[in-house]
Amino acid sequence: MVEIDGAFELTGDEPQDSSFLYNSGLMTIEFQKTNSAISHSWDGEEGWTVKLDKETLYLYGQRDTLFGDYNKDRLILRSTLDDRPTYYNFSPFEEKRFSTPALLEESWEIRSENSLLKDLTISFTTDSSYQVASGKSLNSQIYFTYSLGKLAAIEYDFPATSEMGEGQELGTIYFFKTRGGKVKGIFYPVTDGVTTPTKSELTLSKKVR
Protein backbone atom coordinates (compact mmCIF):
# COMPACT_ATOMS: atom_id res chain seq x y z
CA MET A 1 0.00 0.00 0.00
CA VAL A 2 1.46 3.36 -1.02
CA GLU A 3 0.15 6.93 -1.10
CA ILE A 4 -0.05 8.46 -4.58
CA ASP A 5 -1.33 12.03 -4.96
CA GLY A 6 -3.14 11.80 -1.65
CA ALA A 7 -4.79 8.44 -2.40
CA PHE A 8 -3.79 5.01 -1.14
CA GLU A 9 -3.23 2.34 -3.81
CA LEU A 10 -2.02 -1.27 -3.89
CA THR A 11 1.45 -1.73 -5.34
CA GLY A 12 2.05 -4.36 -7.98
CA ASP A 13 4.38 -6.40 -5.77
CA GLU A 14 1.94 -6.60 -2.86
CA PRO A 15 1.08 -10.24 -2.09
CA GLN A 16 -2.57 -11.10 -2.74
CA ASP A 17 -4.84 -13.80 -1.37
CA SER A 18 -8.08 -14.96 -2.94
CA SER A 19 -9.57 -16.16 0.34
CA PHE A 20 -10.67 -14.38 3.51
CA LEU A 21 -10.11 -15.79 6.98
CA TYR A 22 -11.61 -14.36 10.16
CA ASN A 23 -9.56 -13.82 13.29
CA SER A 24 -10.16 -12.12 16.62
CA GLY A 25 -8.91 -8.61 17.28
CA LEU A 26 -8.21 -6.54 20.40
CA MET A 27 -8.89 -2.85 19.81
CA THR A 28 -11.45 -0.18 20.62
CA ILE A 29 -11.86 3.29 19.08
CA GLU A 30 -13.59 6.18 20.83
CA PHE A 31 -14.44 9.14 18.60
CA GLN A 32 -14.28 12.63 20.09
CA LYS A 33 -16.15 15.82 19.13
CA THR A 34 -12.97 17.59 17.97
CA ASN A 35 -12.14 15.54 14.84
CA SER A 36 -10.04 13.19 16.90
CA ALA A 37 -10.20 9.67 18.27
CA ILE A 38 -8.56 7.57 20.97
CA SER A 39 -7.84 3.88 20.49
CA HIS A 40 -6.97 1.23 23.05
CA SER A 41 -5.29 -2.01 22.08
CA TRP A 42 -2.77 -4.56 23.33
CA ASP A 43 0.04 -2.00 23.04
CA GLY A 44 -1.69 0.83 24.88
CA GLU A 45 -3.49 4.07 24.10
CA GLU A 46 -3.03 6.08 20.90
CA GLY A 47 -4.48 9.36 19.63
CA TRP A 48 -5.71 9.87 16.06
CA THR A 49 -6.69 12.79 13.86
CA VAL A 50 -9.96 12.08 12.05
CA LYS A 51 -10.82 13.23 8.53
CA LEU A 52 -13.91 12.52 6.45
CA ASP A 53 -13.53 12.57 2.67
CA LYS A 54 -16.88 11.82 1.03
CA GLU A 55 -17.60 8.21 2.10
CA THR A 56 -14.10 7.39 3.34
CA LEU A 57 -12.91 7.84 6.91
CA TYR A 58 -9.22 8.47 7.64
CA LEU A 59 -7.50 8.15 11.01
CA TYR A 60 -4.00 9.61 11.12
CA GLY A 61 -1.76 8.37 13.94
CA GLN A 62 1.91 8.69 14.79
CA ARG A 63 2.81 5.27 13.38
CA ASP A 64 0.02 4.41 10.98
CA THR A 65 -2.90 5.66 8.92
CA LEU A 66 -6.20 3.79 9.00
CA PHE A 67 -8.82 4.29 6.31
CA GLY A 68 -12.10 2.72 5.33
CA ASP A 69 -15.86 2.79 4.96
CA TYR A 70 -18.45 3.30 7.66
CA ASN A 71 -22.15 3.44 8.38
CA LYS A 72 -24.29 3.40 11.54
CA ASP A 73 -23.90 -0.37 11.91
CA ARG A 74 -20.20 -0.95 11.36
CA LEU A 75 -16.79 0.51 10.59
CA ILE A 76 -14.33 -1.36 8.35
CA LEU A 77 -10.77 -0.06 8.34
CA ARG A 78 -7.52 -0.95 6.66
CA SER A 79 -3.96 -0.07 7.60
CA THR A 80 -1.22 1.40 5.42
CA LEU A 81 1.29 -0.85 7.21
CA ASP A 82 -0.23 -4.20 6.19
CA ASP A 83 1.57 -6.11 3.44
CA ARG A 84 -1.66 -7.72 2.24
CA PRO A 85 -5.33 -6.71 2.33
CA THR A 86 -6.58 -6.96 5.92
CA TYR A 87 -9.94 -5.61 7.02
CA TYR A 88 -10.56 -4.54 10.63
CA ASN A 89 -14.24 -4.69 11.54
CA PHE A 90 -15.64 -2.53 14.35
CA SER A 91 -19.20 -2.58 15.66
CA PRO A 92 -20.79 0.24 17.68
CA PHE A 93 -20.89 -0.14 21.45
CA GLU A 94 -24.50 0.63 22.28
CA GLU A 95 -24.31 0.82 26.09
CA LYS A 96 -24.80 4.50 26.96
CA ARG A 97 -23.90 4.56 30.65
CA PHE A 98 -21.33 2.08 31.93
CA SER A 99 -18.24 1.88 34.09
CA THR A 100 -15.09 -0.20 34.46
CA PRO A 101 -15.75 -3.57 36.11
CA ALA A 102 -13.63 -4.61 39.12
CA LEU A 103 -12.67 -8.10 37.96
CA LEU A 104 -9.56 -8.87 40.00
CA GLU A 105 -9.45 -10.79 43.28
CA GLU A 106 -12.73 -12.54 42.55
CA SER A 107 -13.85 -15.76 40.91
CA TRP A 108 -16.70 -15.50 38.44
CA GLU A 109 -19.25 -17.82 36.88
CA ILE A 110 -20.15 -17.24 33.24
CA ARG A 111 -23.78 -17.15 32.18
CA SER A 112 -23.95 -17.49 28.40
CA GLU A 113 -25.58 -19.39 25.56
CA ASN A 114 -22.09 -20.17 24.27
CA SER A 115 -21.58 -23.90 24.90
CA LEU A 116 -17.83 -23.59 25.59
CA LEU A 117 -18.13 -20.70 28.04
CA LYS A 118 -21.42 -21.62 29.66
CA ASP A 119 -21.10 -22.24 33.43
CA LEU A 120 -17.32 -21.90 33.29
CA THR A 121 -15.66 -20.52 36.43
CA ILE A 122 -12.85 -18.06 35.73
CA SER A 123 -10.68 -15.46 37.41
CA PHE A 124 -8.58 -12.58 36.14
CA THR A 125 -5.00 -11.36 36.51
CA THR A 126 -2.70 -8.60 35.28
CA ASP A 127 0.20 -11.06 35.08
CA SER A 128 1.22 -11.09 31.40
CA SER A 129 2.28 -14.75 31.61
CA TYR A 130 -1.42 -15.53 31.14
CA GLN A 131 -1.69 -13.88 27.72
CA VAL A 132 -3.93 -16.63 26.34
CA ALA A 133 -5.73 -19.30 28.36
CA SER A 134 -6.33 -22.48 26.37
CA GLY A 135 -8.42 -25.57 26.92
CA LYS A 136 -11.22 -26.42 29.31
CA SER A 137 -9.69 -29.22 31.34
CA LEU A 138 -9.88 -27.35 34.67
CA ASN A 139 -12.90 -26.06 36.53
CA SER A 140 -11.15 -22.74 37.11
CA GLN A 141 -9.03 -20.75 34.67
CA ILE A 142 -7.05 -17.53 34.95
CA TYR A 143 -7.18 -14.98 32.13
CA PHE A 144 -4.80 -12.09 31.48
CA THR A 145 -6.82 -8.86 31.54
CA TYR A 146 -6.24 -5.92 29.22
CA SER A 147 -7.28 -2.43 30.31
CA LEU A 148 -8.95 -0.65 27.38
CA GLY A 149 -10.05 2.67 28.81
CA LYS A 150 -13.33 2.04 30.66
CA LEU A 151 -13.52 -1.49 29.24
CA ALA A 152 -11.62 -4.61 30.27
CA ALA A 153 -10.87 -7.44 27.86
CA ILE A 154 -9.50 -10.98 27.69
CA GLU A 155 -8.49 -13.27 24.85
CA TYR A 156 -9.42 -16.94 24.87
CA ASP A 157 -8.54 -19.84 22.59
CA PHE A 158 -10.15 -23.27 22.92
CA PRO A 159 -8.37 -25.92 20.79
CA ALA A 160 -10.26 -28.49 18.77
CA THR A 161 -11.44 -31.58 20.66
CA SER A 162 -11.50 -33.77 17.54
CA GLU A 163 -9.76 -34.19 14.20
CA MET A 164 -12.83 -32.62 12.57
CA GLY A 165 -12.19 -29.37 14.41
CA GLU A 166 -15.12 -29.69 16.80
CA GLY A 167 -14.93 -27.51 19.91
CA GLN A 168 -12.47 -25.08 18.38
CA GLU A 169 -13.11 -21.42 19.15
CA LEU A 170 -11.24 -18.22 19.86
CA GLY A 171 -12.27 -14.69 20.63
CA THR A 172 -11.88 -11.46 22.55
CA ILE A 173 -14.39 -10.62 25.27
CA TYR A 174 -14.96 -6.98 26.21
CA PHE A 175 -16.28 -6.51 29.76
CA PHE A 176 -18.15 -3.56 31.25
CA LYS A 177 -20.34 -2.77 34.23
CA THR A 178 -23.86 -1.61 33.51
CA ARG A 179 -25.69 1.17 35.31
CA GLY A 180 -27.57 -1.51 37.22
CA GLY A 181 -24.32 -3.04 38.49
CA LYS A 182 -24.20 -6.14 36.29
CA VAL A 183 -20.90 -7.20 34.71
CA LYS A 184 -21.47 -8.09 31.08
CA GLY A 185 -19.31 -9.11 28.15
CA ILE A 186 -19.58 -8.75 24.38
CA PHE A 187 -17.66 -10.93 21.93
CA TYR A 188 -17.66 -12.28 18.37
CA PRO A 189 -16.50 -15.91 18.60
CA VAL A 190 -14.45 -17.29 15.72
CA THR A 191 -14.95 -21.00 15.05
CA ASP A 192 -13.57 -22.23 11.73
CA GLY A 193 -12.13 -18.95 10.46
CA VAL A 194 -14.48 -18.99 7.46
CA THR A 195 -17.91 -18.48 9.00
CA THR A 196 -18.72 -14.83 9.67
CA PRO A 197 -18.62 -14.24 13.45
CA THR A 198 -21.82 -12.97 15.05
CA LYS A 199 -22.31 -10.99 18.25
CA SER A 200 -22.63 -12.91 21.52
CA GLU A 201 -23.13 -11.73 25.07
CA LEU A 202 -22.47 -13.09 28.55
CA THR A 203 -22.94 -12.11 32.17
CA LEU A 204 -20.52 -12.65 35.06
CA SER A 205 -21.72 -13.59 38.53
CA LYS A 206 -19.40 -13.65 41.55
CA LYS A 207 -18.57 -17.17 42.64
CA VAL A 208 -19.88 -17.88 46.14
CA ARG A 209 -17.01 -19.08 48.30
Q: What would the DSSP string read from start to end of 37-106?
A: EEEEETTEEEEEEEEEETTEEEEE-SS-EEEEEE-SS-EEEEETT-SS---EEE-----SSEE----TT-
Confidence (pLDDT) at 11: 46
Does pLDDT of 208 surpass 80? no
pLDDT tens per residue, range 30-39: 999 889 999 9
Q: Count CA atoms closer than 13 A to 77's CA, side-chain side.
A: 20
Does pLDDT of 12 surpass 90? no
**Better pLDDT: 112 or 140:** 112
pTM: 0.84
Distance CA 141, CA 186 (A): 19
Query: 69, 56, 25: which is closest to 188 by C-alpha?
Result: 25
Give the C-alpha distances (Å, rounded to integers) separating 170 from 116, 128, 157, 189, 192.
10, 18, 4, 6, 9
Confidence (pLDDT) at 7: 46
Give the C-alpha distances (Å, rounded to integers) separating 154 from 26, 48, 57, 74, 126.
9, 24, 28, 22, 10
Average pLDDT, the chain: 85
Distant-in-sequence, close-in-space partners of 115: CB < 8 Å, separation ≥ 6: none
pLDDT tens per residue, range 38-86: 999 988 999 999 999 888 999 999 999 999 998 888 999 999 999 888 9
Characterise 44 by phi-psi region: left (phi > 0), alpha (psi -120 to 50), beta (else). left
Distant-in-sequence, close-in-space partners of 12: CB < 8 Å, separation ≥ 6: none
Confidence (pLDDT) at 209: 66
